[in-house]
Structure 1
Amino acid sequence: MFRLGHLSDPHLPPPRGALALRDLFNKRALSAVAWRRKHKQHDPAVLAALLADVADQAPDHLAITGDLMNFASDAEAAQAQAWLANLGDPSRITLSPGNHDALVKPGHPQRLAALRPWFGDDTSGDFPHVRRRGAVAIVNLRSAVPTAPHLATGELGDEQRIELETILRDLGREGLFRLILLHHPPTEGAVSRRKRLVDAGRLRDIVREAGAELVLHGHAHEALVGKITGPAGPVPVLGVPSASTAPGHRHASARWHLLEIAANHAITVTARGFDRQGEPLSELGRYRLPPP
């Protein structure tokens, strides 16, 4: 039994000095306006309580599907690095970057480099990265790319998709449980067009031909259960709300998922989070996904 925790979109409060004067003339200015409007829904106390619950449940590994930052500034990258280091050893945590972690082009590769130890075991190359944990192979993708103002789309690109297909086929021949991580949902209609994964159809084609056992994502700030076609049947696709959203806001309250993956590839999902304002974090529900 492999026990995996999944959380997403913590949107850590920006540190003092996160934005410079030059940022008033690029996409970060729009994000700053949005943050002033929405920052109250991301409560550090809620995130702290959720992380304490994760620690109490002690999963074997933790998957985080992006958006640690808000403006993708150097100060935020340093803060995200320190936050991840405080969570535990990088070998026990896998991060798939989100669109807010890759908001603007200038300095983009250097900022993500600070988070590289959490991408995979061998991070000498680019995505995809693979982590083998017993009978489970975590295939980490990067859908986060800098985009034009008012867009939060993602894209994997040709090189990443070509390598992904080879990786999935090789891992399948080994009989491993193939778990795909990415920020943007690969299912149709999960988010609006301006937030979509632009090459989601091509990713679904790869999974249909090469196979996978589970896909985890964030980005939508909602609890989503979907599926995409695999060679042997439906492949479950699960998303979680933001890990810091306080109850009482438009989006779903903060929660995380504990996934228990059995030797026969059956998956038990336990949702843990906040149901109502003023109530403590608790188990919200539990369900089982059969092998695809």
Structure 2
Amino acid sequence: MMFRLAHISDIHLSPLPALTLRELISKRITGYINWRSNRKGMMTGGTLEALTDDLLTQHPDHIAVTGDLVNLALDEELETAQRWLKTLGRPEDVSVVPGNHDAYVPGALKKTRRYWEAWMRGDKQAAENLPVEFPYLRVRGDVALIGVSSARATAPFMATGDLRSKQATKLAEILTETGQRGLFRVIMIHHPPIRGAAPSHKRLLGIGLFQRIVRQHGAELVLHGHTHLATRYEINGPGWTVPVICVPSASQSFAGSHKPPAAYNLFTIEKTNVGWSCHMKQRSVIDAQMTIQTIRDDDLLAGS
């Protein structure tokens, strides 16, 4: 059966709410200055609205959102993101993993989990009304959606993420189980699990651990965000290469930045007699009038 999975990332919902003096006396002051000087005019709600409208006309079976829904993890931002997620789809049809901006200061990630828990709970947690736990597993048809959290609060001017042993051990267990079930395994993570894909102050700590797990236990597709770029890398799996795909920010305007304009990816996944087929289509804003067209149309090698 054919399954259509859409991928968007780095939403950075705008406008930024007003900040109190107390909120500014933290790492948020650097983020606020960065927003005012660099991002305010380049990341717009109008662009995001046009992109998501086009995405929804494609009628995907599921939507993966790989983090950075907000900017400074203010309570008002988290509430706004919750409302936005409701416009994107039912919680069972949209899977979210957090990014570094969603965990911007100590304590923010705990609030993020509370506000967005319906979109970040695995099937087991949802069925038993348990709290969010990473990595989580959702199975939709023949597709296993595995949400990994690399989000953590960092010092000013840092945006690193991490993958620690407890989460890595659980990820390995999930990949083994879902592989034995013959499912197409999609890992969602915010930071790129590839060396050199992000500068050192924005990298994932635990890249080697992540890649070792994929080499040993397999996966069919890895989706990430963070860099705001349209990139494709590969990790060697147990007998095949696993595509690692990033998508540009969903709110990046057409002009005014060296980063590519807003885009989303649409993957068509189907089981065949010889394994899996996975076709990727990228749709992007192509002009200042927010025209959206397909700019990439590729078959990905995937599957065991």
Is 2:259 aligned against 1:251? yes
CA gap 1:279/1:16 in 2 versus in 1, 3 angstroms: closer
The amino acid that maps onto 1:290 is L
Corresponding residue for residue 211 of structure 2: 204
Corresponding residue for residue 267 of structure 1: 278
Q: Give me the whole-angstrom Cα distance separating, in 1, the residues matched to 2:40 and 2:100.
A: 17
Residue 266 of structure 1, CA deviation:
1.4
Corresponding residue pairs, total: 291
- Of 151, 158, 175, which aligns to 2:165? 158
- TM-score (ref. length: structure 1): 0.96
CA RMSD of aligned residues (A): 1.3
Corresponding residue for residue 76 of structure 2: 75
Corresponding residue for residue 58 of structure 2: 57
Q: Give me the whole-angstrom Cα distance separating, in 2, the residues matched to 1:232 and 1:42.
A: 41
Residue 217 of structure 1, CA deviation:
0.3
User: Secondary structure of the residue that 2:46 maps to in structure 1?
Assistant: helix
Q: Any conservation in 2 of the 1:14–1:69 contact (CA below 8 Å)? A: no
Q: Give me the whole-angstrom Cα distance separating, in 1, the residues matched to 2:142 and 2:17.
A: 43
Structure 2 runs not aligned, ≥5 long: none
Q: Give me the whole-angstrom Cα distance separating, in 1, the residues matched to 2:111 and 2:226.
A: 23
Q: Give me the whole-angstrom Cα distance separating, in 2, the residues matched to 1:206 and 1:111.
A: 27
Q: Give me the whole-angstrom Cα distance separating, in 2, the residues matched to 1:47 and 1:282.
A: 15
After superposition, residues 1-292 of structure 1 pair within 5 angstroms as 1-17=2-18, 19-37=19-37, 38-120=39-121, 121-123=123-125, 124-125=130-131, 126-248=133-255, 249-264=257-272, 265-278=276-289, 280-292=291-303
| Deviation by residue 1:252-289 (Cα, 9 ceiling, x = unmatched) | 11000010011132110001011233461111120001
- TM-score (ref. length: structure 2): 0.93
Residue 78 of structure 1, CA deviation:
0.7
Provide the identity percentage: 40
Structure 1 runs not aligned, ≥5 long: none
The amino acid that maps onto 2:4 is R
Q: Any conservation in 2 of the 1:14–1:76 contact (CA below 8 Å)? A: no
The amino acid that maps onto 2:278 is I
Q: Any conservation in 2 of the 1:14–1:70 contact (CA below 8 Å)? A: no
User: Secondary structure of the residue that 2:41 maps to in structure 1?
Assistant: helix
Q: Give me the whole-angstrom Cα distance separating, in 2, the residues matched to 1:104 and 1:82.
A: 22
Q: Any conservation in 1 of the 2:160–2:202 contact (CA below 8 Å)? A: yes
The amino acid that maps onto 1:251 is K
Q: Any conservation in 1 of the 2:215–2:237 contact (CA below 8 Å)? A: yes
Q: Give me the whole-angstrom Cα distance separating, in 2, the residues matched to 1:229 and 1:80.
A: 35
Q: Any conservation in 1 of the 2:7–2:63 contact (CA below 8 Å)? A: yes
Residue 108 of structure 1, CA deviation:
3.3
Q: Any conservation in 2 of the 1:97–1:142 contact (CA below 8 Å)? A: yes
User: Secondary structure of the residue that 2:265 maps to in structure 1?
Assistant: strand
Residue 24 of structure 1, CA deviation:
2.0
Runs of 4+ in 1 over 4 A off after TM superposition: none
User: Secondary structure of the residue that 1:263 maps to in structure 2?
Assistant: strand
- Tell me whether 269-278 or 64-73 shows the greater mean CA deviation: 269-278
Q: Give me the whole-angstrom Cα distance separating, in 2, the residues matched to 1:117 and 1:71.
A: 21
